[in-house]
Amino acid sequence: MKISAIPSAQCWLGQFLPADRKTAESLLDQLVYITTDDVVNTLGGHINNLIEGCNRVAIFPVRELIQVQEDETEGLEETQLQTESYFPLGDDDAIPVVQPNNIPLGSEAFVSNLITQLCRRNRDKVISPEGNRLDPTINNLRAERVDSLILVDDLIGSGNRTKEFIESIYQHPTIKSWLSGKHIEIHIVSYMASDKGEKLISKWCDQYRNSTLHVLKKCPMLNMSDLDLISLCQRYADEKERLPIGYGDNPVRVVFTH
């Protein structure tokens, strides 16, 4: 059954003028519905295979980063200030803090739960400081002789958020040194990515040795040449919405249950 024919969709369709209803139905019917189980099983299976080929692994969810406080930037070169370091620069025992407590985690919470499951299944290889969910510190990575970092995302859209995060990982001098000396590998694993996002992250990986992008599925996109559909999104968007067809005019047509 098409999504537009589902009884619960009729209320949503009823918001559109009769002349626009067919286009709205087309928009609904182009959406791809993806269950959490599929994402968990697909990501989990691929990451498990990666873990088997490593000695010691640390796994991180790709996250939104918080702003660096002014006193943390004192003494840094201008090039270092372009991207903040995920790992605190002044204390190798400090745990990264990436989100204030009052900000919703979104898909990060789902990915973090998956990582917790992977840690429990692979206790002999995946490090988990003091048996909790806290992210490893630089000294944890050093003491455990970690040889691989796995960064996990559910969707790479424009690629900007993912690129910012992996650059913040690389920003720490120790990570930079280990990667340059081929002491560690970085694997970026995403369930799905747009062509635009995949190209951006692949370009980053090409610049830095021992970095690999793993995109498990191609992301279906809305057709930007469908002017009626694009016009519908623009005309019916909330007046405060600055990006009615998605960030960077890169509209995905995916609905995740999580």
Instruction: State the pTM of this model.
Output: 0.85
Q: What is the pLDDT of residue 97?
A: 65
Per the CB < 8 A criterion, the answer to whether 98 and 66 are in contact is yes
Q: What is the pLDDT of residue 25?
A: 96
Q: What is the pLDDT of residue 111?
A: 81
Q: What are phi and psi of 250, to 5 degrees?
A: -125, 65
Nearest to 86 by CA among 137, 19, 132: 137
Distance CA(117)–CA(123), nearest Å, equals: 10
pLDDT in tens, the chain (258 residues): 789 999 999 999 999 999 999 999 999 999 999 998 999 999 999 999 999 999 999 999 998 776 544 444 444 444 444 568 899 998 999 888 665 544 445 566 778 788 888 888 898 999 876 444 467 899 999 999 999 999 999 999 989 989 999 999 999 999 999 999 999 999 999 999 999 999 999 999 999 889 999 999 999 998 888 999 999 999 999 888 888 887 777 788 998 887
Pairing relation of β-strands 211-218 and 185-193?
parallel
Q: What is the pLDDT of residue 13?
A: 96
Q: Torsion over CA of 24, 26, 28 and 34, rounded to 10 degrees? A: -160
Domains and CATH numbers, the chain: 1-30+221-258 (no CATH), 34-219 (3.40.50)
Helix intervals (H) in 14-69: 21-30, 36-52
Nearest to 12 by CA among 24, 30, 26, 20: 24
Radius of gyration of the chain (CA): 21
DSSP string, 73-129: STT--HHHHTS--SS-SS-TTPPP--S-TTS--THHHHHHHHHHHHHHHTTTTB--G
Distance CA(167)–CA(203), nearest Å, equals: 12
Per the CB < 8 A criterion, the answer to whether 33 and 255 are in contact is yes
Per the CB < 8 A criterion, the answer to whether 194 and 221 are in contact is yes
Distance CA(204)–CA(211), nearest Å, equals: 8
Q: What is the pLDDT of residue 209?
A: 80
